Structure 1
Amino acid sequence: MDLDRSFVIREGDLRILNPFDADKLATLGRVIRLRPDDTLLDLCSGKGELLCTWARAHGVRGTGVDISTAFTTAARRRAAALGVADRVRFVHDDAAGYVHPAPVDVAACIGATWIGGGVTGTIDLLARALRPGGMLLVGEPYWRREPPDRETVAACHATVRDDFDDLPGLVGRIQGHGWDVVEMVLADQDSWDRYAAAHWLTLRRWLDAHPDDALAGSFRRELTEDPLRHVRYRREYLGWGVFALLRR
């Protein structure tokens, strides 16, 4: 059980594996009013930047779960580097089936709602780990602008237009599922650029060092095609944000 090698290579030295920069992650931790010793569960925790930086800044404790051995190892290194290894732990496991041993104050899935088959299914999955009155954090894409054609939809990682809502539709879907949206922090075009463009440099450096690797051909195509997809489609049409929820 592990993440495909191509994803590990592509994410390179990125610490935040979504179109969020460090300032936005810090803003999110601040606006949801974390308190010392709040307990967190982060499903699909990636390289652990959320838990590690919030443990340092707010004194929280938590568990991150991710299917990637490389990301889990990187998260443990990050915790040690920030001096919070006694406050956070990282588990290599399938987040979709993970059962946390005790209710937590905050349960999060930031940008991986496929684990629950979509945003409402992921809300239900996270809610199983939540104490009464606790908060959920869900990261999810949405349409910034209505996609005009199937080419735009495909370039934004969707199969059909209805794979994503627009922002009012997404908020309405969450509310209709029985939750109040009590905060949100949204990516902007600059944070999208920082996330997307970091992949391009990583891929180019990797290709220079591994020209004969089995992945070289597909990565060469990606490096040729992805910058145009990003500037033509994704940064214009696709939004992304993290939404803080409390059960009604």
Structure 2
Amino acid sequence: MSLRHHEIAEADNRILNPLSQEKLRLLGEICRLKEGQRHLDLACGKGEMLAGWAKRYGTGGVGVDLSEVFLTAARERAAEFGVSESVTFERGDAGKYQPEPASFDIASCLGATWIGDGLAGTIELLRPALRPGGLMLIGEPYWHETPPEEAYEALGTEPDDFVSLSGTLDRFEAAGVDLVEMVLADGDNWDRYYAPQWFAISEWLRRTPADHPDVPAMREFLDHQRRGHLTYGKRYFGWGVFVLRPR
């Protein structure tokens, strides 16, 4: 799916991951955020975490994303929260962003470890940005149990993309970071992430001429994602934000 298709699908989502506002606030509490701390968020989407934490805790920072549609929503949210002077949003390839070394207290990438070609590579993208003692936040899927072969195609993954929770811990340890906390999505979080997309796509299809070039792809995306989630995702696919500290 193209970026444009994701912009259509996630039009009604504020948080572009299976994470509720309550769990996002919990994550901020876990990180012991303080006024004046700086936060780098790669693949920041609509900036809900960065802007929300700036409002609640007095933090600041930088969000980076490829989508101008998402970044426009992020800037509007920052203005709504009165934190436009504290947070900035930059359009660009998050995998190529060069932060000032050791200048952030929090460095995060939630649900987009493809920017570093996987978990280990994304950790290495975030590591140089952190000040000593800083925390790294990675949002990553995992398997509740080993799925059948047909689930991989249905969920758009490869067999070695993700592992179990304990296997994810092994990957963190191999990458030289310690897992110090975590906030895991539950079934309702997944439903509230995916189901609004079905409605958004349905509404887009309803008001878009049938000969529009994006219509076939959006119909396929809707059918594929809906069936994959209901058939396999709810049983096998987990997701969490893992709070890490580099060794």
TM-score range, shorter chain: over 0.9
Which of 206, 209, 224 aligns to 1:208? It is: 206
Letter in 2 for 1:166: S
Q: CA deviation at 1:173?
A: 1.2
Give 1:131's aligned residue.
131
Equivalent-residue separation in structure 2 for 1:205 and 1:138 (angstroms): 32
Give the superposition deviation at 1:156: 2.1
CA distance in 2, matches of 1:116, 1:200: 29
Give the corresponding residue for 2:161.
Answer: 163
Q: Does 1:115 align with 2:122?
A: no
Partner residue of 2:173 out of 165, 172, 175: 175
Length-normalised TM-score, structure 2: 0.95
1:195 paired with 2:193, answer: yes
Partner of 1:146: 146
Match of 2:33 in 1: 34
Shift of residue 199, structure 1, vs aligned partner: 0.6
1:219 CA drift (Å)? 1.7
Distance apart, 1:179 and its partner CA = 1.1
Aligned-residue offset at 1:224: 3.2
Secondary structure, counterpart of 1:84 in structure 2: coil
Residue pair 2:68, 2:91 contacting (<8 A) in 1 also? yes
> SS of 2:183's equivalent?
strand
Q: In structure 1, how many angstroms separate the alpha carbons of the residues matched to 2:171 and 2:223?
A: 37
**Partner letter of residue 12 of structure 2?**
D
Distance 2:122 2:31 in 1: 20
SS at match of 2:139: strand
Worse overlay, 125-134 or 216-225: 216-225
Report the counterpart of residue 244 of structure 2 in structure 1.
Answer: 245
Secondary structure, aligned partner of 2:219: helix
Q: Distance in 1 between matches of 2:129 and 2:18?
A: 26
Contact 2:154 2:224 in 1 (8 A): no
1:184 to 182, 185, 193: 182
Which residue is equivalent to 1:54?
53
* 2:25 aligned partner, one-letter code: A
Aligned partners of 2:127 and 2:118: how far apart in 1? 14
In the alignment, the residues of structure 2 paired with residue 190 and residue 141 of structure 1 have an alpha-carbon distance, to the nearest angstrom, of: 15
- Cα distance in 1, alignment partners of residues 82 and 143 from structure 2: 39
C-alpha separation between the residues in 2 aligned to 1:22 and 1:9? 22
Distance 1:222 1:177 in 2: 34
- 1:100-141: CA deviation from partner (whole Å, max 9, x where unpaired): 135111100111111111111110110011112211001111
Aligned to 1:18: 17
Q: Please list every run of at least 4 consecutive aligned residues from structure 1 whose deviation after the TM superposition is greater than 3 angstroms.
A: none
Which amino acid letter does the alignment assign opposite residue 84 of structure 2? A
**Corresponding pairs, count:** 244
Length-normalised TM-score, structure 1: 0.95
CA distance 1:112–1:196, shift in 2 (3 Å): same
Q: CA deviation at 1:79?
A: 0.2
Q: Percent identity?
A: 47
Give me the whole-angstrom Cα distance separating, in 2, the residues matched to 1:16 and 1:34.
20
Structure 1 unaligned regions, length at least 5: none
For the aligned residue pairs, the C-alpha RMSD in angstroms reads 1.2
Matching residue of 2:67: 68
Per the TM alignment, residue 221 of structure 1 is displaced from its structure 2 partner at its CA by: 2.8
Q: Distance in 2 between matches of 1:186 and 1:155?
A: 22
Equivalents in 2 of 1:90, 1:223: separation in Å?
30
Distance of 1:187 and 1:42 partners within structure 2: 19
